[in-house]
Amino acid sequence: MTSNPLGSDLPYLSATEAQALFTSGELSPVELMKTVIERTEKVEPTINAFTERLFDEALEQARDAEDRYLGKGGLTPRPLEGIPVAAKEKHAIAGRSLTEGSLTNQGNIATENAPVIDRVVEAGGIIHARTATPEFSIATYTHTRLWGVTRNPWNPDFTPGGSSGGSGAALAAGTALLATASDIGGSTRIPAAFTGTVGFKAPYGRNPGLGPLVADHYRGDGPMARTVDDCIALQNVLAGPDPRDHTSLRPKLTLPTRYEDAAGLRLALCVRLGAYDVHPEVETNLRATAKALADAGAKVEEIELPWTREDLLTAVAGHFSTIFGAVVSEVAERDRDRLSSYAVKFADTMAYARTRVSYLDSLRAEQRLQRQLSEAMAPFDALLCPTTAVPGWHAGDDLADERLTVNGEEQCDTFWAAMTSPFNISNRCPVLNVPSGRSSWGIPTGVQIVGHTYDDPTVFRVGKAVERVRPWAYTPERRPVL
């Protein structure tokens, strides 16, 4: 394969562009991997997105991928052949460490691959690095006592979000073309919003998981990428049933790769989701996105949901304290001193919540919220709303105080800084985050595209439409300066 003239643009190729160049012989998977490795060595001291680098193995796999594109050995390229993919550390890789960012798990070795890892490897994707999370993936920022602070490539004073913050940071920094993520309260969508990337919270059961928490209907694994097309490509690899996860849906849904434009779409615009105080810059970017879609022929109508803070808090408190929070509380009971301060606070808060809110209370609130959402969305194809209420928060902060302070100014109550958990409560809805613009703080903002239950193709149609009418590409003038 010939040398490619793209040079410094190589780390910011989309996966679909890279595969086209592989197929034409204009680019080698080995050349791309070497460039991504060089980029990593340059920016990682600042960003700290990776917990483990698998570069030697990745280069060997890139050589095998090159052979496939050259037709050697009778093997043909697979759907992700030769593409560098960063994997969230919580996605187990057999024989490798599985700490979830906690000192309490040091020495823990995975005995099998997570389903998303198997899917990526079987599709020819090359896992060249593993990405950082907050401890146990419980926070909307990414730092731990084990790995240190992960920073946003757009503005290193700020966090890339969490819990899939390392994945979002790697994509924005040009050190991965695709990344795996997970979402139990916004862990895919918040980092996607803050890093100007695309993140998909698949509806419950669409993508298989591993371990007891796959039975938690708030959670799910999914894709992150820099473009909607790339997100589709990874999602089509991740989806489908797996016998290790009895909740995984069959038959597999394969997303289309081509979509109609925005004309004729019926879209609801909801700025506050009934309960949130939204920063003016977030609202401005959301409204600009909605107007661009309307100008392209979509019918956009502003609505307000009747959701209350009481119902949202009750649903989340009863659910998390009973399931996910109970897992962290078990660790805190036996190894409290080795936990980060925010993990201790989470465990204590969940223990308190269990004395105040029952799981039945949570289910009653969930049902009210779900019905209200369903009724409000009935006349529409999808709903648009902000991903976060605030354009970001600082790297290294634990958000331990009740009020979120950014740049010396109070913004809102910390619990209400992200607008993602309502759609984990309504987790049969697919939700796609796409960029909506940038804030004066130097980092991107995001819009959530919420679909009807299990209507994944529509959110991707809207996402593609947003990408057309408000182009967001990692061109030289639209990349982080590192």
Q: List the catalytic residues.
A: 88, 163, 187
d(CA 32, CA 29): 5
324-335 and 341-356 are packed helices; what angle lies between their axes, rounded to 10 degrees? 120
Residue 276 contacts residue 307 (beta carbons within 8 Å): no
Please calculate the CA angle 125-129-133 and round it to the nearest 5 degrees: 115
Which residues are CB-contacts of 32 (< 8 A; sequence separation ≥ 6)? 10, 13, 18, 62, 82, 84
d(CA 125, CA 64): 11
Task: Give the rounded distance of the alpha carbon of 363 from its chain centre.
Answer: 26
d(CA 347, CA 329): 5
Cis before 251? omega within 30? yes
d(CA 465, CA 276): 26
Which residues are CB-contacts of 27 (< 8 A; sequence separation ≥ 6)? 1, 4, 6, 10, 18, 21
Q: Quick one: three-class SS letters along 96-154?
A: CECCCCCHHHCCCECCCCCHHHHHHHHCCCEEEEEECCCHHHCCCCCEECCCEECCECC
Residue 186 contacts residue 427 (beta carbons within 8 Å): no
Task: State which H helix or E strand residue 196 sits in.
Answer: none
β-strand partners of 179: 86, 224
Q: What are phi and psi of 2, to 5 degrees?
A: -85, 160
d(CA 167, CA 270): 28
Q: What are phi and psi of 309, to 5 degrees?
A: -60, -35
* Residue 102 tokens, joined: 């906690």
d(CA 53, CA 43): 14
Residue with tokens 């009418």: 469
Residue 381 contacts residue 458 (beta carbons within 8 Å): yes
Nearest-CA neighbor of 357 among 322, 323, 326, 328?
322
Residue 125 contacts residue 149 (beta carbons within 8 Å): no
